[in-house]
Amino acid sequence: MEQGSAREGVRPPYAPGAPAGTPVTGRVPEQLCVGRSQDAERAGGARGVRGEHRHGEPPAPRVVRHSVRGQILEALRAALVDGELIPGQVYSAPVLGARFGVSATPVREAMQQLATEGAVEVVPNRGFRVSERGPRELAELAEVRALIEVPVMLRLARTVPAERWAALRPLADATVAAAAVGDRASYAECDRAFHRAVLTLAGNEQLVAIADELHRRSQWPLVANPATRQADLLADAAEHTALLDALTAQDLAVVQALVREHFTGADV
């Protein structure tokens, strides 16, 4: 059950009208999505809290860190997951830059990166159009992810000792915490962090990079901006916990069934 499914929406718990960067009770701390074992990679990109956003407008400014381009890239990626950047709509770099309080240059650079990832398309002399995606593309992504991750996880279930899986439990718990407050953007980060940490145990950096990119693309919303219901996020997060239990018990049949359901059980 991944983020891009066509489901009834739940708005994340951001404070309407609050100034950019204002903390809001209920948001999942980002550090919960960071691996706490030597096998877990850091979850990407810190983000801040948004204010109110009206349909069809660029996202409100976010509190971000590191390089300006990297800051804006992570903020835009989160806006894609949350559906703040509407599929089919064109956004200009100067307008987005004004919303973020930066020049158009880092926004344009970040959007160029998103274009290479397939999230947006360049529209000459206008800006960038958010890509429109349908159920077929999401189903294809789910199929490819299953082809990659199912055999890897089955191999890991046979060879990885129980204590290594126990070290990943905080990452699974972080997905549950994000789902519990309906925070789609934080859930997307924690979800990818969990899967990266599991696959990292295979010792293949190329596999981890490819799987993570496919995972990111599966989290972009469908056309018409449907959002994932909180109940579906909770069900998805529960599968992470169940998967860890099956991996620890070396129950190969359950591992295979859970991973396939995790990718194909949602409408993605």
Half-sphere exposure of 27 (CA within 13 A, CB side): 19
pLDDT reported for residue 230? 76
Nearest to 61 by CA among 46, 76, 50: 50
Higher pLDDT pick, 201 / 49? 201
Percentage above 90 pLDDT, the chain: 49
Q: Is the pLDDT of residue 52 over 90?
A: no
Chain centroid to CA 218: how far? 8
pLDDT reported for residue 132? 85
DSSP 250: T
DSSP secondary structure string for all residues of 19-54: PTT---TTPPPGGGGS--STTPPPPP----------
pLDDT reported for residue 14? 26
Q: Is the pLDDT of residue 54 over 90?
A: no
Average pLDDT over residues 174-180: 94
Whole-number Cα distances in Å, 174 to 70, 161, 177, 184, 188? 24, 22, 5, 12, 11
Half-sphere exposure of 204 (CA within 13 A, CB side): 14
Confidence of residue 185 (pLDDT cuts 50, 70, 90): confident
Question: How many Cβ atoms from other residues are within 10 Å of residue 37's Cβ?
Answer: 17
Average pLDDT over residues 108-119: 92
Whole-number Cα distances in Å, 256 to 70, 152, 153? 36, 10, 8
pLDDT reported for residue 162? 94
Q: Write down the H helix ranges in the chain.
A: 68-82, 93-100, 104-117, 135-159, 162-166, 169-180, 184-200, 205-218, 230-249, 252-264
Six token digits for residue 237: 């997060």
- Highest-confidence range of 16-25, 63-72, 100-109, by mean pLDDT? 100-109
Six token digits for residue 12: 């994340």
pTM for this model (two decimals): 0.70
Residues in a beta bridge with 230: none
Q: Is the pLDDT of residue 218 over 70?
A: yes
